[in-house]
Structure 1
């Protein structure tokens, strides 16, 4: 049983990252389901702005008291900004994973790849969450 509350406007990956598109900029984060699963996050490793990422490429890690989880780019593009607040206070990932706990912002390249991201409903189904 799960009680996942998803946020409008987000799209999700099978590796539990989320994406929000705003005026050509893609904000990327880790889903509440993922942060609940890994436990209290104590450290986040993120790439530098200017880093080019391919869709599916690992771009960092979220370390918790339970495990280290690899983070994967949901689209191809260039990192424009990282969330400095999350580097200073990684617990934001647990407290507000789909809002204040965002990880990075990217500009998509021409191959982008956002068309196969899941909607909220598709992600719920992916999680097999009957009562969400």
Structure 2
């Protein structure tokens, strides 16, 4: 009787870990991220736009968000149209593209004649960062 239980437990454990031992790991979620332009120049107090696009290159459906991270001290000078800085790219099937989405922002000059603000745009799905790009926002007087 104990031998049968041990065999059944061994089969259950091997079934649970069979996916981990596969030779080829196929990513369930993968993306291609495009952002235009990556260097933006804007006058202080004026609105500007960035275009973002996400493509699903994985083999499962994803619902990604694009989040713009900026230093806490710079947040008062660069204001994105969405207060949280996160933009929903919609549900993307494998091979599907979100198309370019326009992100509006307004930037202000903190001091001097020109200021550069560094921000990072990240594609996030299921709490994980799939891809990221750096964006430089240059504000002039």
Quick check: which one's strand share is greater? Answer: 2
Structure holding more helix per residue: 1
Structure of greater Rg: 2
